[in-house]
């Protein structure tokens, strides 16, 4: 009888532990103390929680409702749905794959500020439209969707948005190749499985006067025109 009640109590404890597992503890275990991603407020469980004042480095992302998807756990995948609450930058939703056959993000929609991440490129933010970026074994497995770069308003020579598709680059990174309809400017954004980001802004066909201005912003002359590059890290 005592053994039966002990097993019953152990089962109840295990169910409660899984059902009410604190989101704060799960984040610390997943991200580690030195991760670039941070937040000021974490509440709720892994199944239905809220992460407030999320930051990636110095960039503010906002406050999110998050929830672990139960069914993928049956096949060894950890998937988390995220949805940004009321925010000046608008909605941001997506599904993150944290473990399993693939890691990355799917169905990502919304705006993210990246000015600090890609500095000195004059880009304030990017807008994602149904973006997938999944890695398997450290290499890009699949990538799709559209990314739009939103330039800094103070940059006169880059006055319009640049958009383009997301794909897998030959070297195994995710690549977003962005341009304007009339041409002249191009942005290459690369992301690898370790969260390293490389960005290149190239302006072609600039007259000498504009070339001198670009040089003051740190652009260097290249075969394609004038190029400015940056390197950053997500986590």
Question: pLDDT per residue over 176-208, tens digit each?
Answer: 999 987 778 899 999 998 888 999 999 887 778
For the beta carbon of residue 1, count every other beta carbon within 10 angstroms.
5
Tokens of 13: 């404890």
pLDDT in tens, 106-162: 999 999 888 888 888 888 899 999 999 999 988 999 999 999 999 886 555 666 789
Q: Is residue 42 over pLDDT 70?
A: no
Q: Which residue has the higher pLDDT, 31 or 221?
A: 221
Measured CA to CA, the distance from residue 196 to residue 174 in angstroms comes to: 11
Task: Give me the phi and psi of 218, to 5 degrees please.
Answer: 100, 5
| pLDDT of 166 | 96
Q: 103 near 97, Cβ under 8 Å?
A: yes
Secondary structure (3-state) at 131 = strand
Q: What are 176's strand-pairing partners?
A: 166, 189
Q: Where are the domains of the chain?
A: 18-101, 106-235
> Quick check: bond before 120 cis, omega within 30?
yes
Confidence band, pLDDT 50/70/90 cuts, at residue 165: very high
pLDDT confidence of residue 164: 95
Query: Average pLDDT of the chain?
Result: 77
SS3 115: helix
The set of residues, in sequence order, having a beta carbon less than 8 Å from that of 167 and lying 6+ positions away, is 143, 144, 174, 175, 177
Q: Whose CA is closest to 94, among 85, 107, 104, 84?
A: 107
Cα(45)–Cα(156) distance, integer angstroms: 47
SS3 at position 47: coil
Q: Are 82 and 91 in contact (CB under 8 A)?
A: no
């Amino acid at each position: 009888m005592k053994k039966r009640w002990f097993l019953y109590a152990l089962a109840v404890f295990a169910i409660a532990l899984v059902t009410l597992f604190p989101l704060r503890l799960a984040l610390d275990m997943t991200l580690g103390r030195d991760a670039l991603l941070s937040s000021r407020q974490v509440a709720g469980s892994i199944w239905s929680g809220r992460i407030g004042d999320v930051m990636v480095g110095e960039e503010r992302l906002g406050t999110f409702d998050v929830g672990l998807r139960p069914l993928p756990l049956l096949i060894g995948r950890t998937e988390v749905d995220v949805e940004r609450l009321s925010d000046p930058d608008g909605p941001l939703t997506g599904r993150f794959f944290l473990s399993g056959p693939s890691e990355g993000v799917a169905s990502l929609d919304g705006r993210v500020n990246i000015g600090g991440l890609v500095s000195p490129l004059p880009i304030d933010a990017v807008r994602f439209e149904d973006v997938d970026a999944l890695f398997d074994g450290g290499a890009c497995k699949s990538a799709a969707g559209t990314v739009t770069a939103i330039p800094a308003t103070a940059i006169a020579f880059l006055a319009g948005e640049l958009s383009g598709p997301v794909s897998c680059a030959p070297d195994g990174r995710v690549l977003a190749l962005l341009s304007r309809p009339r041409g002249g400017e191009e942005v290459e954004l690369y992301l690898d499985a370790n969260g390293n980001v490389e960005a290149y802004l190239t302006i072609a066909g600039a007259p000498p006067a504009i070339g001198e201005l670009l040089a003051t912003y740190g652009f260097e002359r290249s075969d394609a025109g004038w190029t400015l590059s940056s390197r950053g890290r997500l986590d």
